[in-house]
Amino acid sequence: MPLSELYDPSRGYLVNDTVVVEAEVAVRKMVDYWTYDSKKETGYVGLKNQGATCYMNSLLQTLYHIPYFRKAVYHMPTTENDMPSGSIPLALQSLFYKLQYSDNSVATKELTKSFGWDTYDSFMQHDVQELNRVLCEKLEDKMKGTVVEGTIEQLFEGHHINYIECINVDYKSNRKESFYDLQLDVKGCRDVYASFDKYVEVERLEGDNKYQAEQHGLQDARKGVLFLDFPPVLQLQLKRFEYDYMRDTMVKD
């Protein structure tokens, strides 16, 4: 309100040369960081950040909360001579065990050392999609010949067909491919369904971009993607960053 109203006797705010102001105060419970018990409050503990590893921590927490994946990791064979810092399976087993039973936040240094990262690498912002692929590939390789062989494919592998279909002649090219994750555009998409619509959007190959259809030569064609099946756990990589050629930098959508 205007200050003049406070000093207007007819408004009732000025009493015996004292300005009376009434206010509603919302009191909220303050959380003391040093005494907050995550295990007690939520049943879970977090992962310590090594400096720039929040992306990795998010991935590890996601994988940990997939019971089938966690059980498969526990069943991966290790030897008594293995050291967590030199064995990804053992380091991941140790980390998952501590997440499950520890009362305090868990360090990830042994796991990053098993990746071959030194201290400098831990402070670098890596790509979470690439880390996920590398981790799954290494685990997939270590699972071969064991009771948990095929776990990665069973959980994360889906299939689609990339096709090109000529418009004016009877010619079509199909290529079946597998995927462990999908990169979805977010720019201009109101939700994930719109992102999927954009992913399967049919592209026209015409003009200078005509399709070389073997004996039929250059032809107008349609190019697109058809999904055959999705995995039990579908991993989506949202393309929130794009390269801006005008500013020569990555921009976030």
pTM score: 0.74
Which residue shows structure tokens 């990053």? 112
Summarised one tens digit per residue, pLDDT across range 105-152 is: 999 888 888 887 776 565 566 678 888 888 898 899 999 999 999 999
Same domain, yes or no: 118 and 147? yes
Question: H helices within the chain, ranges in order?
Answer: 3-6, 38-42, 54-64, 67-74, 88-101, 109-114, 119-122, 128-143, 151-156, 192-199
Q: What is the CATH number of the domain that holds 116?
A: 3.90.70.10
Same domain, yes or no: 95 and 113? yes
Ramachandran area for residue 165 (φ above 0: left; ψ -120 to 50: alpha; else beta): beta
| Range of the structural domain that residue 192 is part of | 159-252
Summarised one tens digit per residue, pLDDT across range 184-226 is: 999 889 999 999 999 999 999 999 999 999 899 999 999 999 9
Same domain, yes or no: 70 and 96? yes
Of 128, 181, 111, give the one whose Cα is nearest residue 152.
181
Q: Based on the structure, what is the number of domains in the chain?
A: 2
DSSP one-letter code for 12: T
- Go through the chain and tell me how many residues it has: 253
Same domain, yes or no: 182 and 140? no
Domain annotation covers residue 196: yes
